[in-house]
């Protein structure tokens, strides 16, 4: 794991909603680094700011203040520094959600290949990339299936393949195992850890799912907009990996 190479870095990031007496502090000077090869968990009660932080890192929500670096590039410092945030997301970030959100009118291969096509990749090359990813994630035998024909675990693997379609270095996952049983949830998290190490990606996972806590390299908690690392989780992970 290249722990010296931060692919996600936020510094003193704050986000406020509303004004005056209706003002809500969703994030309060949050600082966080996620490095290449790491799978990091982000925990906290509902309303603690987890999804807000994920959406800011994903360049979907604009913060109130602070700085954001993605893959070494400063992309926010009081304002967005990249003119085309949609292109930035397509180039650098893969998103995985609680529910797979596959397009029901496209088959498995088409659901993946449509993503590279959005950045100008030919249909032939995008299809090749899709089949390559399905093989990597052990679901190539479902490449012609429709989403309605997939099991929950298969659908989530296809969703992961879609997230990897444009070779992102950063993967943001919002409750990716909440709809899965323990066995399937463990397999999905094993896949994410494999991807982090083999693709040298940084993976940040928002979760309430206690059954996957042991799959993280580090865990942070958010409460009332404040972030804190759980220090013993790193040492436990190292002991378990020996």
150 in any annotated domain: yes
pLDDT in tens, 108-165: 999 999 999 988 899 999 999 999 999 988 889 999 999 999 988 888 889 889 988 8
Q: 29-79, pLDDT tens digit by residue?
A: 999 999 999 999 998 877 788 889 999 999 999 999 999 999 999 999 999
* DSSP states of 104-130: TTS-HHHHHHHHHHTTT--HHHHHHHH
**120 within some domain:** yes
Give the chain's domain count: 1
- In the chain, DSSP assigns E strands to 6-17, 24-35, 39-43, 65-70, 73-77, 93-96, 170-174, 202-206, 218-223, 226-229
Asked, for residue 1, whether it belongs to a domain, the answer is no
Domain residues for 232?
A: 6-241
**42 falls within a domain:** yes
User: Bigger pLDDT: 38 or 199?
Assistant: 38
pTM to 2 decimals?
0.85
Q: Could you tell me the two tokens for 230?
A: 């759980």
Condensed to tens digits (0 to 9), the pLDDT of residues 7-34 reads: 999 999 999 987 777 788 889 999 999 9
Residue 144: CATH number of its domain = 3.40.50.300
Q: Which residues are registered as beta bridge partners of 15?
A: 27
Beta strand 73-77 pairing with 65-70:
antiparallel
Which whole-number Å values give the CA distances from 111 to 119, 162, 196, 198, in the listed order? 15, 7, 22, 23
At 5 the pLDDT is 81
How distant, in Å, are the alpha carbons of 38, 95, 120, 121, 198 from that of 126?
Answer: 27, 18, 9, 6, 21
**Of 7, 57, 59, nearest to 33 (Cα)?**
7
């Amino acid at each position: 794991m290249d722990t010296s190479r931060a692919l996600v870095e936020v510094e003193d990031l704050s986000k406020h909603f509303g004004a005056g007496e209706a003002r809500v502090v969703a994030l309060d000077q949050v600082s966080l680094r996620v490095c290449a090869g790491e799978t990091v968990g982000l925990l906290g009660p509902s309303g603690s700011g987890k999804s807000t932080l994920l959406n800011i890192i994903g360049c979907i929500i604009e913060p109130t203040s602070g700085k954001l670096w993605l893959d070494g590039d400063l992309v926010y410092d009081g304002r967005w520094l990249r003119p085309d945030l949609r292109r930035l997301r397509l180039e650098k970030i893969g998103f995985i959600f609680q529910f797979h959100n596959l397009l029901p009118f496209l088959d498995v291969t088409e659901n993946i290949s449509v993503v590279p096509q959005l950045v100008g990749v030919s249909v032939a090359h995008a299809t090749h990339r899709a089949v390559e990813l399905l093989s990597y994630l052990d679901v190539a035998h479902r490449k012609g299936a429709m989403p309605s024909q997939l099991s929950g675990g298969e659908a989530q693997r296809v969703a992961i393949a879609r997230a990897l379609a444009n070779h992102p270095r950063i993967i943001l996952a919002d409750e990716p195992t909440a709809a899965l049983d323990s066995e399937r949830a463990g397999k999905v998290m094993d896949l994410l850890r494999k991807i982090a190490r083999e693709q040298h990606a940084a993976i940040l996972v928002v979760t309430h799912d206690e059954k996957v806590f042991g799959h993280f390299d580090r865990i942070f908690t958010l409460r009332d907009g404040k972030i804190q690392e759980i220090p013993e989780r790193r040492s436990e992970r190292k002991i378990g990996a020996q």
